[in-house]
Amino acid sequence: MTRFPFSILLGLVLLACAPRGVVTLMPTLAGAEPQVQQVFVASNRLPRKVEQSIFFGQQLGDVRDPTLRFGRVDLSVPPAHTTGQIEWPGSAVPDPQKHFIVSASVGYQNAEAFVAALDQHGAPGEEVVLFVHGFNINNAEAIYRLGQVAVDYDARVPVIAFSWPSAGSPRGYAYDRDSVMFSRDGLETLLTALDQGGHGVLVVAHSMGSQLVMETLRQMSISGNRAALANVTGVALISPDIDEDVFVRQASRIKPFPRPFTLLVSERDRVLELSAFLTGKPTRLGSIDDPARLGRLPVQVIDLTDMKGGARGGHLTAFTAPEAIRLLKDMSGSPGG
């Protein structure tokens, strides 16, 4: 009988015990003048209080909702922000000089109002960056992570978080995989609205969010929604939690295939080790060590295995390791920069 690796079991226990990210709403104090990073949000998470149009905090939970909601949060970035980190207030009294906080938020009635707001807060028709989070992520973490990444990568275009209904629990792997399938239509709706609004879309996905992106692009190609598909200006899958064989089949049905298309991988990704164990496979796409196994797909593979620093476990290296952030910025330039 296959034994569950102790190191992975220990990591799972630590994840279950770790405090979770929550959003702290605190209007900016007069004279503080912190840097503000706007994060636009589209989500099919059911609000815990439907009558409240709130796109921050725990109001958007883990329950699936066929309705896609739209909003924006303004993140106040602390002056002493450290590259690769999210300075959560935790149990401390929130301090704009030390912590990420939400200084303001707004909801939009529909996709048209959402796209109009993008035009107001950026150049009309400008490219946007769309971030699709991964497994075991609550709404607050999805929004704050994108804010941190946008700041560290010096994004100069609007950024959008697609916050799909992850259970936000390390024990919710099966629930999250089903939520990915549930969320394909919502992500396609968003991509179509952005196309109709004249915005090119650079899609960045992490972990299980990569499966959601691939399934959605495949669905759009098969259904004939190729105008919106052609509007995708590039794709980057970071630590993709996808079976290699499935990825190749998915990619073979996506026409036109987005370019550039980049995979960021690591052979030291402990979360993908767990995923491989759960699926009965030796590795996942995000741990690939031989790109030749992907055939002739026009895909660039960037190996982050040897990158130092960042969060433990290697699953967040591209977001949290300063060395990796510097490398990726130098290779591609900041989005829109």
Q: How far apart are CA 32 and CA 261, in angstroms?
A: 41
Q: How far apart are CA 77 and CA 98, in angstroms?
A: 8
The label of the residue with tokens 């089903």 reads 178
State the 10-residue block means of pLDDT for the chain, 337 residues long: 41 44 65 81 85 55 93 92 92 85 90 94 84 95 95 94 95 95 98 96 97 98 97 97 96 96 94 88 90 92 92 92 89 54
DSSP strand pairing (300-303 vs 261-265): parallel
Domains of the chain in start order, with CATH, are 24-332 (3.40.50.1820)
Say what the pLDDT of residue 288 is: 92
Numbers of helices and strands, H then E, in the chain: 11, 9
Q: How far apart are CA 176 and CA 206, in angstroms?
A: 13
Angle at 206 (CA atoms; ends 131, 198), nearest 5 degrees: 25
Bridge partners of residue 64, in order along the sequence: 45
Say what the pLDDT of residue 18 is: 44
Say what the pLDDT of residue 286 is: 96
Say what the pLDDT of residue 337 is: 44
The label of the residue with tokens 């590259």 reads 83
Query: For the whole model, what pTM was predicted?
Result: 0.90
Say what the pLDDT of residue 49 is: 67
Provide the sign of the torsion angle of the four alpha carbons 277, 175, 228, 110, taken in this order: negative
* Category of 72 on φ-ψ map: left (φ > 0), alpha (ψ -120 to 50) or beta: beta
Q: How many residues does the chain have?
A: 337
Q: How far apart are CA 61 and CA 166, in angstroms?
A: 8
Bridge partners of residue 161, in order along the sequence: 41, 131
